[in-house]
Structures are given as C-alpha cells and as structure tokens.
Amino acid sequence: MLLEVRDLHVEFRTRDGIARAVNGVSYGVDAGETLAVLGESGSGKSVTAQAVMGILDIPPGRITGGEVIFQGRDLLKLKEEERRRVRGAEMAMIFQDALSSLNPVISVGDQLAEMFTVHRGMSRKDARAKAVELMDRVRIPAARERVRQYPHQFSGGMRQRIMIAMALALEPALIIADEPTTALDVTVQAQVMELLAELQRELRMGLILITHDLGVVADVADRIAVMYAGRIVESAPVHDIYKAPAHPYTRGLLDSIPRLDQKGQELYAIKGLPPSLTHIPPGCAFHPRCPLARDVCRTDEPPLYEVSATRGSACHFWRECLNG
C-alpha cells in the first residue's frame, strides 16, 4: 500500500465548541490506483486530505488521533522539516481554485521552474526548459511562448492544467486532487479529467480524487470511499457501489440522480439536512435521515462491517440495503 490512513481524527475549535470534522477515517491507495473520496460539504473529505498533506491549519484544527502511513513511514510523527520534503516531491495536491493557488505576480514558467531549482537544485536555464516540457505535457498550446505569461492570462481550464503540471513536476508517488474540475465548465472539465487520468496511468501514481460528483467518480475511480459527517460510511470498488450500494446514504445519493424513466415524477430525495459537526447525532450519524433507521441506529454507532473482502459498509442493516 502506497498510502494508508488509519483511524484518523481531526477536530476544530469553533465559536460553538468542538467540531468533529474527521472521526476515525481509514483508507488506502495503491500505486496506480484511483481512490475517489465522495461526500458533501462538511463530510470531512477535504479535511482528511489536508491532514494527509500536512497543510491543515493548526489551530483551529487539531489531529487528535490516527496514523498516516506513506511509503512505510507515519507522516504524523515526522518533523515539519521532513514533512516539507515529502510534500511536493513525493505527494502533491491539486486544488479546486487554480487562480488563487497560483501566485499572480510570478510568471507560470518561473513558478514551474522553481519546483526544479528548489527541490532538484537545477540551474535556472535547465529549470526553464523543464517548465516548457511540462507545459507541453499537459497540452498547453504554444508552451514555449506562453511560459512567460502570468496566471491571469490563462483561461480556467488552462490554469488547472498548469496546476496539474506543478503537481506532476517532481513525479510524486501520490496526487491528491480536491475537486479539481468543479469550478470548470462541463466541456473543459472533460478535457482536464481525461488529462489527469492519462498522466496518472502513465506515471503509475496513486490518485486520491475528492469530489461530490457521482458522474466524475464513475468515470475515473477504481475504488470509492463515501464520507458522511466525518466518517467513511461505505468503501467499495466502483462497479459494486453503482450496481448495489450497501449503505442507505450511498443509495440515497444514487437514487436522487434524475433518470430518464423518472421524467415527470418526483425525484427521490434524502430527507432532512446534513448534521452540524458540533452536534453530530448519537449512534449512526445518518439515522435522522435514514429510511432504514431503527432503535439500534439511534444508540449504537455502526462499525465498518465487512460486506466482502474488498468492501465495507457502516450500516447495521447493510444486508437489507444491498438487497434493495
């Protein structure tokens, strides 16, 4: 396993008390594998990734437990100095908002080249050549000319390509992409997603794709981890989940996608709203919204039951859910 997160807990101090953003998340990614972490806002999917990358804001955030094993080392036990060397060189992150992730007053070429001068100690000239090569690789037309341009001179799609180029610069073993295409238009989204998937295959990187879009997940993921209120509620190979979800929340999400044969009918809708992280319901966090909920769900927090060798569901009644 390239990366293994074990029983991670993250809290935030807020004005209203402790917000438990991540409550015992475990997942793993192999080299060359794409893990999609699916969830709504407040599900803890981004916070988990930030904890893995070591870019969590502390305070108000605080990691209260767990391990992040990357290539055999627990990252949480490393010193900040060592962490920094891992970051960028061995794992890299792509953000949703490329414009605010790039420095507006430095040309994109210099920002790319900096990766090589800082981490690899290359000369400026060689680094510049590498930057052009990278921009070519992410298929930015006329890379040689555009290398001197500034971020605002690129379109949204092109900026996201530059972000990808930066993430790939040092050929990391793991890439975490946090909603990489959410801010892009549909037709551009397709271009960027395809580019990312292709480069990942080529370089055999592990990819953690954080998203709320079930369509994007179905297109590129190998495995899915569905998060709700800071926990993984279902984890399975992509085909299994779409065929028969084993958690009522996953089922609800899939059922609420408009389908052809439902035209003119009510859409299925999960009732209620996601919980506040300062007041997560006791027992199973999903129980107030769950159609299968019974008394036990209000009191006992379900563990991640083993559905099959590759699949887990945090629902007391996963069998019922699986059978529809």
Q: Which of residues 72-111 bind another protein (CB under 8 A)?
A: 95-97
We find the least distance from the C-beta atom of residue 288 to another protein, in angstroms, to be 6
Binding marks (x or -) toward another protein, 206..245, rule CB under 8 A? ----xxxxxxxxxxxx----------------xx--x---
Tell me: does residue 310 bind another protein (CB under 8 A). no
Q: Which of residues 25-64 bind another protein (CB under 8 A)?
A: 40-42, 44-47, 49-50, 56-57, 60-61
Tell me: does residue 299 bind another protein (CB under 8 A). no
One of 125, 273, 295, 309 touching another protein (CB under 8 A): 273
Q: Which of residues 170-189 bind another protein (CB under 8 A)?
A: 178-179, 182, 185-189
**What does the alpha-carbon distance between residue 115 and residue 130 come to, in Å, rounded to a whole number?**
10
Of the candidates 26, 69, 73, the residue with the CA atom closest to the CA atom of residue 48: 26
Tell me: does residue 152 bind another protein (CB under 8 A). no
We find the least distance from the C-beta atom of residue 75 to another protein, in angstroms, to be 19
20: β partners: 11
Of the candidates 276, 278, 256, the residue with the CA atom closest to the CA atom of residue 265: 256
Q: Which two tokens stand for residue 259?
A: 């389908």
Tell me: does residue 267 bind another protein (CB under 8 A). yes
Tell me: does residue 268 bind another protein (CB under 8 A). yes
Query: How many chain residues interact with another protein (CB under 8 A)?
Result: 81
Give the residue with the Cβ less far from another protein, 173 or 217.
217
Stretch that binds another protein, among 24-32, 72-80, 162-170, 281-289 (CB under 8 A): 281-289
Give the residue with the Cβ less far from another protein, 128 or 247.
247
We find the least distance from the C-beta atom of residue 300 to another protein, in angstroms, to be 19
We find the least distance from the C-beta atom of residue 207 to another protein, in angstroms, to be 16
Beta strands in the chain (DSSP E): 3-14, 17-29, 34-38, 61-70, 73-74, 91-94, 174-178, 206-211, 223-228, 231-237, 305-308, 311-313
Per DSSP, the three-state class of 165 is helix
Q: Per-residue b/e over 272-296, b at no fewer than 16 CB within 10 Å?
A: eebbebeebeebbbbbebbebbeee
Give the residue with the Cβ less far from another protein, 28 or 281.
281
We find the least distance from the C-beta atom of residue 222 to another protein, in angstroms, to be 10
Give the residue with the Cβ less far from another protein, 150 or 242.
242
**What does the alpha-carbon distance between residue 98 and residue 308 come to, in Å, rounded to a whole number?**
39
Of the candidates 199, 169, 209, the residue with the CA atom closest to the CA atom of residue 89: 169
As a dihedral over the C-alpha atoms of residue 294, residue 298, residue 303, residue 308, rounded to 10 degrees, the angle is 20
CB 21 within 8 Å of CB 274: no
